[in-house]
Chain A
């Protein structure tokens, strides 16, 4: 456990972490950058590099499993749908007023992966104690070269540098979080692993690397709950499918009330399974501008009560889809 984990939650003084780490960010510069990102303005390469190195200095101090206090709003996959992320902040409350926990998959598929990721990074640098970022399976060099983030960076900057800076940040992201301490909510992008029985086992993993193809760290980012007995092979090609027994055992062993995870598209925005022992939350509405699904976030209050907020896609916004958009793909 890092000392950051042991600190009692403090809202004031907010930039404490930054001060400890000797980061000199002018709040004005950062506020301006945040505004520019929100408006999809071009962020100079040097600024991206600076943001990334600042956030790495913060993330390097974080534990594999971050401790997060209540109340907090837990959000699933964004996948580059910046306009929907902005809708979330408008309806769910801006950061830092509302505390957020993002369960990964910030990039790929959508048209604004870079802006979505930079916005979260900039908020993290500005309000390190009010936003927690957890790694998803798409925060990986290999996956981003297939699913769009790499191409987007090269298209926007003409070189791979920006993609490289971001990928370096990916390696430092936490693997999960526990909301509300003992008896609280275990948050992860994908799911459980046959190699991992306790949260303490996750705490000692060496996370600062590209997501491996197998093993505990891979499974946490890739696995899915399913109505299966025990563990089954995942059709995704990585991670496992895990059943109700595995969830119950994990909850019991680790004194956890609920597993909150993302990773799977849910048409209704969220889906509770296994006697409410696990929930999938999904943030990207009308995923890939094609799926027609609604989105949701989960707020955990001080008594660990769950409140789901659902919302629809920001389609009215003409900027949500760029004019020179890649074709939405069907078989035609």
Chain B
């Protein structure tokens, strides 16, 4: 039996399955071009190993996987998944292009494939991923069982075949190569007054002299605002040079959609802790600047990214017109109002800290809703 806290963590880890299923669906529906070949090995790893994760049995894992991957995703989910993936990719790519030798740190990325795509494309980037041990194990097995992934992360590790809960438990959750670091860690621990020894695993492979981009895609929202603060400040203090944060997550806007979302997600055991505490772009600005001490803050909501807000702005749109036309043709859209409503409740926030003059110029390449703060 799981304790109440373990149940909450299980529900949080399960959100990675949702995200993976969404990416799989957007991939199948041809939103993602060229197709993402790394989604499949991750699904395979879940299919063989979810049963060994805590709180699952063979039966319940099978049921969960069937319901997550068996259902068709709505066009608005495909579209939102594509937009978010595309624009975080875009910002990440600009960062790598500007700094060349740099590191990307993905917090709670779960089965996200961005790391593989960027390691393959850029030879000098270093990619870190930190997540719960069970999540990193799923990813590690996926990598070790797939020759392409193994060569991308430059791992010499042996393929593993897990056949029991014990074996899964004993598997080391970490994988470190020259350019790729998969590290298990519960980031929420950072707020509990850790000693320097407690954070050794986090910093052992971390090069504090490199320009660093920290990504959080629907991750920090599961931690409390004070944990958010500690996590952000921790990485801020580790970096001697530029550290940038790119955060994507839902916000309640204090409206009836937000209230309904809180209720619906609570039914699944998911408590979005920043959702109501940081309900809109303005509160996030205050949080990032005043509380976390970051600068060059830029914010937008996904409705703007998707072009659902009509602007007079002369800045370049997030998504090129030709690409919007392409995805508009893929599937009929049922309710534009609904898309606007859902996407308005997701924000993308950029903020940075730099002791020197170095700043991430590339982030100005795209249009932010609020970009006059620095």
Q: How far is the CA of A331 from the CA of B258 in the complex (A)?
A: 13
Interface members, chain B 208-222 (any A CB < 8 Å): 218
Q: Are B336 and A286 in contact (CB under 8 A)?
A: no
Smallest Cβ-Cβ distance to B324: which chain A residue: A235
By a CB distance below 8 angstroms, the chain B residues around A331 are 19, 22, 77, 80-81, 84, 218, 250, 346
Q: Are B333 and A237 in contact (CB under 8 A)?
A: yes
Q: How far is the CA of A21 from the CA of B329 in the complex (A)?
A: 44
B67-75, B113-121, B147-155: which lies at the A interface?
B67-75
Q: Are B328 and A147 in contact (CB under 8 A)?
A: no
- Is B255 in the interface zone, CB < 8 Å from A? yes
By a CB distance below 8 angstroms, the chain A residues around B80 are 331
Could you tell me the dominant secondary structure of chain A's interface residues? loop
Q: Are A330 and B336 in contact (CB under 8 A)?
A: no
A290-B261 contact, Cβ under 8 Å, with A108-B334, A264-B337, A331-B80: yes
Q: How far is the CA of A328 from the CA of B260 in the complex (A)?
A: 11
Could you tell me the dominant secondary structure of chain B's interface residues? helix
**Could you count the A-B residue pairs with CB atoms below 8 Å apart for me: how many are there?**
94
- Is B259 in the interface zone, CB < 8 Å from A? yes
- Is A224 in the interface zone, CB < 8 Å from B? yes
Q: Are A292 and B259 in contact (CB under 8 A)?
A: yes
Q: How far is the CA of A238 from the CA of B329 in the complex (A)?
A: 10
- Is A31 in the interface zone, CB < 8 Å from B? no
Q: Mark A254-268, 1 if CB is under 8 A from B, else 0.
A: 000000000011110
Q: Are B256 and A292 in contact (CB under 8 A)?
A: yes
Other-chain residue from B259, B332, B338 in contact with A237 (beta carbon distance below 8 A): B332
Q: How far is the CA of A291 from the CA of B74 in the complex (A)?
A: 15
- Is B305 in the interface zone, CB < 8 Å from A? no
Q: Are B328 and A237 in contact (CB under 8 A)?
A: yes
Smallest Cβ-Cβ distance to A326: which chain B residue: B71
Interface centre among A142, A151, A238, A328 (most CB of B within 10 A): A328
- Is A33 in the interface zone, CB < 8 Å from B? no
Q: Mark A204-245, 1 if CB is under 8 A from B, else 0.
A: 000000000000000000001000000000111110000000
Which residues from chain A sit less than 8 Å from chain B, CB to CB?
A: 108-109, 138, 142-143, 146-147, 151, 224, 234-238, 264-267, 286-293, 326-332
Given A143-B334, A264-B336, 14 additional A-B pairs, CB 8 A:
A224-B336, A236-B332, A236-B334, A237-B331, A237-B333, A265-B337, A265-B338, A267-B256, A267-B341, A291-B256, A328-B264, A331-B81, A331-B218, A332-B19
A-B contact pairs, 12 of them (CB 8 A): A146-B72, A146-B75, A151-B72, A286-B260, A290-B264, A291-B257, A292-B256, A327-B18, A327-B67, A327-B268, A330-B342, A332-B18
